Structure 1
């Protein structure tokens, strides 16, 4: 279950830039070392060693994927980037069933109403974290209208947790 947490947008952007730079530098170092080692071990002096250079870069990509999954993902310096990734993934899981969500919202389905409210809150935070205020202004009217509708139905509007059961309920209701 994903939960929206308050974040300072400027600090978030600074921290994610830093973690991106760290990952990029590690990848570059790995790619250079592995490409050089592949050419030194298997290449021909003065020959065409492109395949060994490409092979070294490919192995560096595989190694970075393994490092990301096994080591970097749990590091404190990666926490803001991981949070952003999880937020976007949560929003995408709703986007994938948005036509079902909007149909269920029209029928005043409580799960769909909560799901759409979480989506609005998550999208608002994503726009703030990414520094994308222009997209947010387009949603304000829809968000306010949906919030008022929830209040009128007596449904709590502070939906900061994404309950996967809501998505399943919406999918089941549309069948």
Structure 2
């Protein structure tokens, strides 16, 4: 279950820039240390040590992937980046079945209507967090039209939670 959380866009961008910088600096340090160590251990003085340098960078990539999953992912300084990653994953899951969702919305399916409302709210937040206002007007119009339809059917418009079971319901309803 994923839930949309209120977030200040300026603070979000500042924190994600900081976490990106931290990750980049750790990766650079690891890559340099591991490449230097590989050349020192296995290389030849004055020889072609490119493969050892590349090997050190490759090991740094693997180590960073492990650190990201096991250590950094749960750190407070990574929370905004993790939140946006989870939000984008939720939105992508809905996008992948959007043709089913829209068909079900037209048929008046309450689950589809909730799913589309969550999608609109999540996409709106992602646009705000990323500072992307290119299609914002169109999105707001679609959100308002859908909100009015939900209100007319007495469906709760406060759909800040995403239940992955809704995706399965859309897939099975279309079969």
1:14-25 correspondence to structure 2 within 5 Å: 14-25=14-25
1:14-163 correspondence to structure 2 within 5 Å: 14-163=14-163
TM-superposed CA distance for 1:135, in Å, is 2.4
Residues 53-79 of structure 1: CA deviation (Å, up to 9, x unaligned):
110000000000000111000001001
The TM-score with structure 1 as length reference comes to 0.98
- d(CA) in 1 for partners of 2:19, 2:59: 21
TM-superposed CA distance for 1:118, in Å, is 0.1
TM-superposed CA distance for 1:165, in Å, is 1.7
The TM-score with structure 2 as length reference comes to 0.98
Structure 2 unaligned spans of 5+: none
Residues 137-162 of structure 1: CA deviation (Å, up to 9, x unaligned):
22111111111111111111110000
- d(CA) in 2 for partners of 1:104, 1:168: 13
- d(CA) in 1 for partners of 2:50, 2:11: 41
Aligned structure 1 segments of 4 or more residues deviating by more than 3 angstroms: none
CA RMSD of aligned residues (A): 0.7
Structure 1 unaligned spans of 5+: none
